[in-house]
Amino acid sequence: MKICGIELKSNNAIVSVIEYLNDEINFIETKIKKIVLENDEDINSVLKFKNEIESFLNENAINYIALKKRAKKGTFAGGAVTFKSEAIIQLNSICEVHFVTSQAISKYTKINEANLPKNLNKYQEQAYLSSLLLT
């Protein structure tokens, strides 16, 4: 089973893919590491983002998405664009979306030793950790 972890930051969907097979987790390095929503007010940009997300999911044979939740209010609240990006990702026609919280990621890393792959970029770390929660 392939899981795509996604963290939304500003107008970027940061992605990380793992394969979970026979109780073994393998990081899969993909050419695409970020998918950008250029202009959330332009229908062509929104459709391009949707198509790029679905194309990425198809090309990598993704079974599940682990989407890191953002706060809806408070200091660390997500911006309006991230909520629009989240809705677009949720409405994909390829696979199920599961939400993971920052607290769940923190708890997981305290209990389990999360050996980060050497070829994982620092900015992909939260997306990677999100995907581990679905294993």
Q: What is the pLDDT of residues 10-42, one digit of tens each?
A: 999 999 999 999 999 999 999 999 999 999 999
d(CA 20, CA 51): 26
Question: Domains, the chain, ranges and CATH?
Answer: 2-132 (3.30.420.10)
How is residue 16 written in tokens? Answer: 């990380």
pLDDT tens readout for residues 71-91: 777 766 668 899 999 999 999
Instruction: Give the angle subtended at the CA of 99 by the CAs of 35 and 16, to the nearest 5°.
Output: 40
Could you tell me which residues are beta bridge partners of residue 2?
19
Instruction: Give the angle subtended at the CA of 52 by the CAs of 67 and 127, to the nearest 5°.
Output: 25
Q: What pLDDT is attached to residue 76?
A: 65
Determine the 3-state secondary structure of 28 from DSSP: strand
pLDDT tens readout for residues 91-134: 999 999 999 999 999 999 999 887 899 999 999 999 999 999 99
Give the helix/strand (H/E) hosting 18: strand 12-21
Q: What pLDDT is attached to residue 112?
A: 87
This prediction has a pTM of 0.94
> In which residue are the tokens 């194309």 written?
55
